[in-house]
């Protein structure tokens, strides 16, 4: 799926010249970085895997003739997000894409607390620190955009992915509120809430995703929604799953998600 010339022009005019993309080495983050490069954005890309980041850089530089800075950094490590801000503070960033994150699954009491705390730092703390910093920058500039990677699991508790769903509920709520707070300053905020997506996420979360969308199917709908919606449900499968749950009370949604996740979580 490709961005139209009109969408490329709109995105660059409103949010260029540079996009900071976390989680850009794979999955949705990588797809968004590549699509933004196709619109002419210079990139600052961040993830743990330096080799994969350099592969993304080499691909987009050759294909789109843009500048790409690679910053290999694990944002689940306490203090690293502050270090990142120090490194990028002089960059002319107009768009923040918060795609870094991972999940866990299974019974919470059987999980590693260390892993859960690191997930909390990556999925929530780094998101808070970066969005706080760029809320100040963008509001002063009177322009900018933020894309938060939420999830369809953000809208109710999810047994067997209890903590992961809670982190995404945090992201969703933060994005919704910031959208209202920053609107008077000409800053667009979008929560992207996809359903299952084929990426490295599933293996790290010990999940069997079954039927899933590809990153290519969700990237363009996310970018097209920026500045037009507060929340986007990218991809037909996401819409089907979310809308089918809408008529249920919250407790009913939790019961359904328990059944869904019991088939997805790989028993360890």
Domain boundaries, the chain: 5-264
Question: How crowded is the C-beta side of 78, counted as CA atoms within 13 Å?
Answer: 3
DSSP three-state, residue 96 = strand
Give pLDDT, residue 129. Answer: 99
Query: Considering Cα of 245, then 249, then 254, then 258, what sign does the dihedral take?
Result: negative
Burial code of 10-48, b = ≥16 C-beta within 10 A, e = fewer?
Answer: bbbebbbebbbbbbbbbbbbbbbbbbbbbbbbbbbbbbb
Give the predicted TM-score (pTM) of the model. 0.93
Note whether 57 and 72 are within 8 A (CB): no
Burial class (CB in 10 A: 0-12, 13-18, 19+), 184: exposed
Indicate the SS3 state at residue 20: strand
Q: Give the pLDDT confidence score for residue 197 in this predicted structure.
A: 86
Cβ neighbours for 186, distance < 8 A, ≥ 6 positions apart: 142, 143, 144
Question: What span, in angstroms and rounded, lies between the C-alpha atoms of 186 and 20?
Answer: 19
Within a 10 A sphere around the Cβ of 106, how many other Cβ atoms? 18
Query: For residues 142, 147, 148 and 149, what is the CA-based torsion angle, rounded to 10 degrees?
Result: 180
> What does the pLDDT profile of the chain (268 residues) look like in tens digits?
899 999 999 999 999 999 999 999 999 999 999 999 999 999 999 999 999 999 999 999 999 999 999 999 999 999 999 999 999 999 999 999 999 999 999 999 999 999 999 999 999 999 999 999 999 999 999 999 999 999 999 999 999 999 999 999 999 999 999 999 999 999 999 999 998 887 655 555 455 555 778 999 999 999 999 999 999 999 887 888 888 888 999 999 999 999 988 877 654 4
Judged by DSSP in three states, 136 sits in helix
Sorted by sequence, the CB contacts under 8 Å of residue 252 that are 6+ apart come out as none
Ranges assigned E (strand) in 16-62: 18-22, 42-47
Superfamily of domain 5-264 in CATH is NAD(P)-binding Rossmann-like Domain (3.40.50.720)
Side-chain-facing half-sphere of 242: CA atoms under 13 Å = 19
**How far apart are the C-alpha atoms of 114 and 179, rounded to whole Å?**
32
Composition of the chain by helix, strand, coil, percent to 5: 55, 15, 30
Nearest-CA neighbor of 133 among 68, 172, 71, 82? 82
Going by the DSSP 8-state scheme, the letter that residue 219 receives in this structure is H
Q: What pLDDT sits at residue 147? A: 99
For residue 244, what pLDDT is reported? Answer: 87
User: What is the distance between the terminal CA atoms of the chain, rounded to a whole angstrom?
Assistant: 37
């Amino acid at each position: 799926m490709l961005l139209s010339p009109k969408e490329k022009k709109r995105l660059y005019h409103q949010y260029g010249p540079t996009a900071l993309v976390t989680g850009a080495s794979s999955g949705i983050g990588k797809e968004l970085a590549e699509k933004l490069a196709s619109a002419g954005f210079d990139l600052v890309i961040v993830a743990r895997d330096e080799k994969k980041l350099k592969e993304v850089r080499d691909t987009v530089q050759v294909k789109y003739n843009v500048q790409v800075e690679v910053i290999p950094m694990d944002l689940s490590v306490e203090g690293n997000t502050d270090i990142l801000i120090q490194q990028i503070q002089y960059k002319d960033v107009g768009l923040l894409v918060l795609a870094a994150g991972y999940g866990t699954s299974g019974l919470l009491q059987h999980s590693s607390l260390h892993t859960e705390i690191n997930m909390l730092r990556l999925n929530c703390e780094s998101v808070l620190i970066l969005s706080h910093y760029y809320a100040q920058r963008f509001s002063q500039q009177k322009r900018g955009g933020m894309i938060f990677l939420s999830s369809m699991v953000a809208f109710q508790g999810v047994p067997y992915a209890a903590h992961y769903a809670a982190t995404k509920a945090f992201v969703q709520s933060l994005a919704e509120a910031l959208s209202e707070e920053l609107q008077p300053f000409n800053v667009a905020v979008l929560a992207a809430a996809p359903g299952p997506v084929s990426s490295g996420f599933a293996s790290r979360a010990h999940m069997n995703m079954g039927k899933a969308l590809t990153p290519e199917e969700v990237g363009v709908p996310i970018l097209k929604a920026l500045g037009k919606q507060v929340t986007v449900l990218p991809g037909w499968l996401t819409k089907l799953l979310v809308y089918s749950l809408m008529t249920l009370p919250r407790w009913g949604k939790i019961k359904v998600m328990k059944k869904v996740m019991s088939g997805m979580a790989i028993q360890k």
